[in-house]
Every structure is written in structure tokens, then in C-alpha cells.
Amino acid sequence: MKRYLFTTALAGLIATTPAMAHYGMIIPDDPMISQEDGRSVSLTMSFSHPFELDGMMLERPAAFSVTHEGVTSDLLDRLEDASVMEDQGYTLDYPLERPGTYVFAMEPQPYWEPAEDAFIIHYTKTYVTAFGDDEGWDTELGLKTEIVPLSKPFGLWESNVFQGIVKMDGEPVPYAEVEVEFFNQDTAATAPDELMITQTVKADADGVFTYAPPAHGWWGFAALNTADYTLPQDGEDKAVELGAVIWVHFEEWTGQ
């Protein structure tokens, strides 16, 4: 069986393939902060191909916020420039003052993708729970498009299913396509076929999708839809791909 090993030697080959999926990324150092872990969380933001660890330019986002106990706070000015996957990204150390779920959300600037003749805007979010309190784990932020979790988006064992509702303008999106990709942080994962880098599931008639990852780690879910508006590029109106992205960490099973 042919087997692609995604080494540096193959990186150039991969870069020319159209199968690569773009993902907005918000990755905390820990999705479940206990009181023994400290009193803050460190976040890394990027726009990347997470399986191949291929970074892209992430302009300073249009918005970056945290929502906790129903209150949303603007954090845009607190983002620190950083190199992530050898491209422009950001970091943030955020103090956790109280228990509960903190939802970090990013609206990037429209990204012009010539190969797709379209703009890409991935509304990206990640849920972090602090100090043993998971209240707020199913928070809906009211973004233009978002995945609202039906499964708690942390504290999942590997191979547990994750379910969410794809929403656009607050309404479920029937049969939405959801791309799923693993953040291949230690490059240990290989794919027997390019089709295995980004998997795709469809939501049902109520916009609900289900996925069970084969391994622990960070998994990104991106529900992609075309916006009901266009943006100008080179004197023409171009389509806009809207992504509802959520990052979920699955924990390593500790039993036999």
C-alpha cells in the first residue's frame, strides 16, 4: 500500500495540492486548567494547514474576544505578534480570574485565496474550562457562523464522538459540510492517502454533525459555507467562504 510520509522533502509537493484545508486556529496550552495548573492560560493563534504544519499569514484579526459568564471582552489589543508554523501568528497569556468556561473567538480579516478565486473568513473559537467548573460549555456566541457544541468541547476521551450544530446567522444549516483535521503537532501522524488528511462529514437536516477521532490530541472542525455577500478584488466581486471553526481536544485514554 502506498503511504505518504509527510517529510520536509515532500512538503513542496504537498504545497501544490489543492486538497489542503485552511484552518483558523486558537490552541491553548491546556483546555482544562485546574487550580494546580496556575491562574492563566496561554493561547496560540494562526491560520494554517494543521496536519502538514504549514503556516500562512494571519493578519491582525478583525476581532478577538473572550466570553465568560455571559460577558464578552475585547482582547484584540492584547495579542502579541508571534511566528507560528514559520508564519505570522499571535499569542496571548490570559489570566483566569474565576472558574467556568472561557470561550475564545477570532474573526480574521478576509483572506484572499487566488487558487480558489475567493476570500476566506474563518470564525474560529476554542473553549477552555477553568478550575473544575464547566458551566458555559455549550455557549453560543452569536457569530455570523459558528459550530455550537452538543458534546462538551473538552474532557472528551479519544474515540468519543463530538457533536455540534452548524449555524449561520443563528439558524441551523441543513446538510452542511464539515471538514475535520488533526493538528499534527509532533508530526507523528501519516496519511495513507491525501483524502485522509482532511476528512469530511455532513450534518443532518437539523445541522447536527458527528465525528469520532481515532486518536487523542487537537482536532479542528470547519463547517464551510458561501456567504450571501461578495467582496471586491481586482475590480471584480468575489465569493466569500465563511468557515465556522471549533477546536476540540480529546484526551488519551488511560485504561487498558
Partner 1 sequence: MDRPVIRFLVFAAAFATAPLGAMAHQLIVFASVDCEDVTVEAKFSNGNAAREGEVRVMDGENTLLTTLSLQEDGTAIIPLETVDHASGLVIEVDTGSHDNYWLLTPDDIARNCRS
Residues 6 or more apart in contact with residue 242 via CB below 8 angstroms: 121, 122, 123, 144, 145, 168, 224, 225, 226, 227
Closest distance to partner 1 from the beta carbon of 98 (Å) = 7
Per-residue binder mask for partner 1 (CB under 8 A), 43-82, x = binder: ----------------------------------------
- Give the residue, chosen from 42, 80, 132, 157, that forms a contact with partner 1 under the rule CB under 8 A: 132
- Give the residue, chosen from 10, 62, 98, 215, that forms a contact with partner 1 under the rule CB under 8 A: 98
CA 164 to centroid of chain Cα atoms = 13
Identify the CA nearest to 125 among candidates 105, 141, 144: 105
Residue 131 interacting with partner 1 (CB under 8 A) = yes
- Give the residue, chosen from 89, 99, 207, 217, that forms a contact with partner 1 under the rule CB under 8 A: 99
Which phi-psi region, left, alpha or beta, contains residue 175 (left: φ > 0; alpha: ψ -120 to 50)? left
218 contacts 185 by C-beta, under 8 angstroms: yes
In eight-state DSSP terms, residue 194 is G
Choice between 132 and 192, CB closer to partner 1: 132
Residue 36 interacting with partner 1 (CB under 8 A) = yes
For 74, counting Cβ atoms within 10 Å of its Cβ (0-12 exposed, 13-18 middle, 19+ buried), the class is exposed
- Give the residue, chosen from 29, 54, 134, 251, that forms a contact with partner 1 under the rule CB under 8 A: 134
Residue 137 interacting with partner 1 (CB under 8 A) = no
Which positions lie near partner 1, rule CB under 8 A? 35-36, 39, 97-99, 131-135
